[in-house]
Chains A and B, each alone.
Chain A
Amino acid sequence: MKFLFHLGQYALLMQKVFSKPEKKRLYFRQLLVELESLGLNSLGIVVVISVFMGAVITIQTGLNLENPFIPLYLIGYGTRDSMILEFSSTIVSLILAGKIGSNIASEIGTMRVTEQIDALEIMGVNSASYLIFPKILAAVISFPFLVIISIFIGIIGGWLGGCVLTDVLSTDAYIVGLRYYFVPYYITYSLIKTTLFAFIITSVSSYYGYYTEGGALEVGRSSTKAVVYSSVLILLFNLILTQLLLA
């Protein structure tokens, strides 16, 4: 029952968010601000996570390959496809749900409880659209770039972990693995997933922020809810999209 209520309220909010903007110039400025705060400012954390994930995947695959008949270059192949299929899209999105989701929900929630949203409405602004649309658009634009960067950094991290820090395999073998049986469609699949995750994170977090009632305590609660529900939805849609796109 409660689920249906939230679904309906979410749908109504999205309808408001995607209604035609009146002052396009104001929106464009907001978009630039959000591209910086949601996209550019997430670059650091994405790079750090990707390096470590790539390194760990490579080392662990190496440790688990005890059979001498399996060629070592398959480790490079494994790292590449793990990054593309799952880590750079789903895991990075989950981490960004934590960072961006809480950030959005607390920002919009604070604006709600301090009546800044009321002030916008009084000035004739469609507050839902003005606050939320630039965030969704900025995330949908910047996440695919973050994923591509994450894939590359992860592969470099794999090389650092497997060939430089330890000697699980040689650089030559790693490179052979990276070039082995490449399916370009996996990249498409990964980008489609990420775009949807970007939408989920920003819209769900905005939803919880926008309907915050009360004070500072409730803002904190909304931000927790935003992270929990966007993470759960990411996992759910990861399963659904994998069935639809790969199976």
Chain B
Amino acid sequence: MIEVKNINKSFNDISVLNDVSICFEEGKTNLIIGQSGSGKTVLLKCIVGLHEIDSGQILYDQNDFSRMNFKERKNIRKQIGMVFQGGALFDSASVEENILFPLNMFSDQSFEEKLERVHFCLKRVNIENASNKFPSELSGGMKKRVAIARAIALNPKYLFCDEPNSGLDPKTSILIDNLIKELTIEYNMTTIINTHDMNSVSEIGDRVIFIYQGNKYWEGSSQQIFKSDNEQLNDFVFASKLYKKIREIY
């Protein structure tokens, strides 16, 4: 479980997050939704410590991450897997080396054991045969799979995904979404996903948090979202004709 309590974040005196408090549950896919520029990525990066927050608390299973030193944070980071928006695979390394990297950093296993783990992870995300390819040779969907494989290499307790299906076709998006959902249940992870894709919400959203201009406006389940009377949320949810039609049917 990850608890975010009253966090504030600004860049050069421009406030990006305002007093945001959220509780992310274990074994659930927690979706953060909101328009582009609303502060989703900044929120995610604050939670993992890539941005320092101005005030507030971030608790990983009751441990206050925001007040930890580098070494203590490293212990938490061992348990964090993160899938970045573009995949953020290391260009100069093969798929296999990309997934070996976190294992080399954190694990004391022998090389053979690590390699076995790499291939297990690749198999889990269904791209066993790509292990010797380089990131530039992969399609968008494959890059995301490799990024997911790299994120789960260390059996993380916490999984963060920043727009995991941006730039993917609808079918691949759903496959990636479901992969993340399955992994969440399989490893009982606390999973936090940033998205602006309503399909993901209806497909895998156990819990949905709506961010609007750096404020938390709404939070609830993926069923409740279609019946909410929050104006900004409705603007976001029913932006497309398709979802307007869905509302009429409801």
Write the residues of chain A forming the contact surface with B, with a CB cutoff of 8 angstroms: 23, 26, 110-111, 114-116, 118-119, 121-125
Contact = CB atoms under 8 A, between A and B. Distances in A.
Contacts of A123: 77, 101-102, 105-106
Tell me the dominant secondary structure on chain A's binding face. helix
A139 B91 CA distance: 22
B104 A26 contact: yes
B77 A116 contact: no
A114 B88 contact: yes
B85 A115 contact: yes
Nearest to A37: B92
Interface residues of B, number: 20
Contacts of B102: 123
Interface string B76-111: 011010101110111100000000011011100000
B50 A122 contact: yes
B161 interface: no
Contact of B84 (A26, A110, A119, A125): A119
Pick the most buried of A115, A116, A119: most chain B CB atoms within 10 A of its CB.
A119
Contacts of A118: 45, 50, 82, 84, 88
Contact of A110 (B45, B82, B91): B91
A110 B91 CA distance: 10
Contacts, number: 43
23 contacts: A23-B104, A26-B104, A26-B105, A110-B91, A111-B91, A114-B91, A115-B84, A115-B86, A116-B88, A116-B90, A118-B45, A118-B50, A118-B84, A118-B88, A119-B82, A119-B84, A121-B50, A122-B82, A123-B102, A123-B106, A124-B78, A124-B105, A124-B106
B77 A122 contact: yes
Interface in B7-31: none
A86 to B, nearest CB: 36
Contacts of B86: 114-115
A23 B77 CA distance: 16
A119 B78 CA distance: 13
Interface in B152-182: none
Interface of B: 45, 48, 50, 74, 77-78, 80, 82, 84-86, 88-91, 101-102, 104-106
Contacts of A111: 91
A115 B89 CA distance: 9
Pick the most buried of A110, A115, A125: most chain B CB atoms within 10 A of its CB.
A115
B138 to A, nearest CB: 14
A63 B90 CA distance: 54
Contacts of B106: 123-124
Pick the most buried of B74, B80, B105, B106: most chain A CB atoms within 10 A of its CB.
B105
Contacts of A114: 86, 88, 91
A210 to B, nearest CB: 14
Contacts of A125: 105
B94 to A, nearest CB: 14
A9 to B, nearest CB: 15
A124 B74 contact: yes
B12 to A, nearest CB: 12
Nearest to B101: A123
B104 A116 contact: no
* In the A-B complex, the 5 residue pairs with the closest CB atoms: A115-B88, A119-B88, A115-B84, A124-B74, A123-B102
Contacts of B101: 123
Contacts of A122: 48, 50, 77, 80, 82
Nearest to B86: A114
Contacts of A110: 91
A40 to B, nearest CB: 16
A124 B168 CA distance: 29
A119 B85 CA distance: 11
A116 B92 CA distance: 11
Given A122-B50, A123-B77, A23 B84 contact: no
